[in-house]
Amino acid sequence: MTLSLRNLSVSYGDVVAISGVDLEIKQGTTLTVLGASGSGKSTLLRAVAGLEPSCGEILWGDESLHRLPTHRRGVGFVFQDHALFPQRNVLENVRFGLETPRYNRIDAAKRASALLDRVGLAGFEERHTHELSGGELQRVALARALAPAPRVLLLDEPYGALDRELRERLMLDVREILHESGVTVIHVTHDHDEAFALGEQVAILDAGRISQCAPPSEVWANPCDLRTARFLGHTSSLHAKRISAGSSSELNLATALGDFAIPHENGNTHGSFDAEYWVTWRPESLRAVSLRAEPQKGETQKGETPRQSERTSLRISGTTIECLFRHGEYLLSLETAAGRVEGISTESVSRGQRLDLDLNLSEVHAYVS
């Protein structure tokens, strides 16, 4: 079975919240939807749940869910701030979805208790929701959503309100619980780490449209367009021009920092000769040459026609503007002949200092502008 969203759109009057969303999620897998705030993440989930009128089609296998009212879709939902029923205690909350003729009271209570046990809250049955911590509330909300055995579970930034340590522990627990239960999950978040860690597939939602959907490693390695690349951490970009059709495995580009070639899979080759490109990279791809090492001569000097295809890195020099300690290294902001770029140094660099850096060309991407 597969959950399919076909051309799903939601608009409020003239404002389009999501538009033409196509996604396929295999049964028992997790799709994470990563988007900035305001990109339409919550609207997407609410449309799937039937809480928001939408156009398009939502299919579970061959069965259309789109025309069903919310309560008959068999879709579970975990809200960012849990939305537990304040008049009910923990057990009564978890049991809510089981209070149907399908379950008798005893079975319902048993199943609810078992789920509470599974989310690590055994013994919390009689507690009131206002006695619980943020993490505990979210665990109850998960147990409540899983109780009626939904086919699809929707998670709307479920860890958004929690602090980092709690979030990471809960994330791992929840991943295991969801995996065990075999439920199909759509999980939306604005947190990159969360999205790439939890999803078998990652979809990037940009201004109401899915720009890319692929396994996490692929999305990370090959953002499909300039906006996505920037969203995924390609903070540096410089202008380039395609200079030759070149070999089919490479894309030859001319920039203010010199000419170079990047692997053809790192840039789309639709652009004709002379086409304008944007070249982008993450700071990690531009590393300072050890200050003590001898600078290698001549590599970036113009007029020379080296065998570009053999080159895997490009030497760049720039003046340090800012230096920020981050994740055990120094994040540099540099002024170069092609403008401001970001790179990494293992040693601290003072402001105004000139230094040489190597750009790893295999990690550089190019997008037709």
Interface with another protein (CB under 8 A):
49-51, 69-72, 74-77, 79, 83-87, 96-97, 100, 128, 144-145, 147-148
- State which residue, 144 or 282, has the beta carbon closest to another protein: 144
Q: What are phi and psi of 119, to 5 degrees?
A: -90, 10
Contacts of 334 (CB under 8 A, 6+ apart): 318, 319, 320, 321, 340, 341, 342, 343, 355, 357
* Structural tokens at position 369: 């502008």
| Least distance (Å) between residue 194 CB and another protein | 22
CB of 6 to another protein, least distance (A): 22
The nearest distance, CB 80 to another protein, in angstroms, is 10
The nearest distance, CB 161 to another protein, in angstroms, is: 14
Residues 6+ apart with CB under 8 A from 136: 121, 124
Token pair for 279: 């070249």
d(CA 70, CA 72) in angstroms, rounded, equals 5
Of 180, 181, 173, the C-alpha closest to 151 is: 181
Which of 82/315 has CB closer to another protein? Answer: 82
- Shortest spacing between CB 76 and another protein, in angstroms: 6
Q: Which is nearer to another protein, 82 or 282 (CB)?
A: 82
Given the complex with another protein, which of 128 and 230 has the nearer CB atom? 128
Closest separation in Å from C-beta 77 to another protein = 4
Nearer to another protein, 70 or 346 (CB): 70
C-alpha closest to that of 315 among 340, 342, 339, 287: 287
- Residue placing its CB nearer to another protein in the complex, 181 or 268: 181
Residue whose C-alpha is closest to residue 204's, from 159, 234, 183: 234
Nearest to 243 by CA among 232, 234, 251: 251
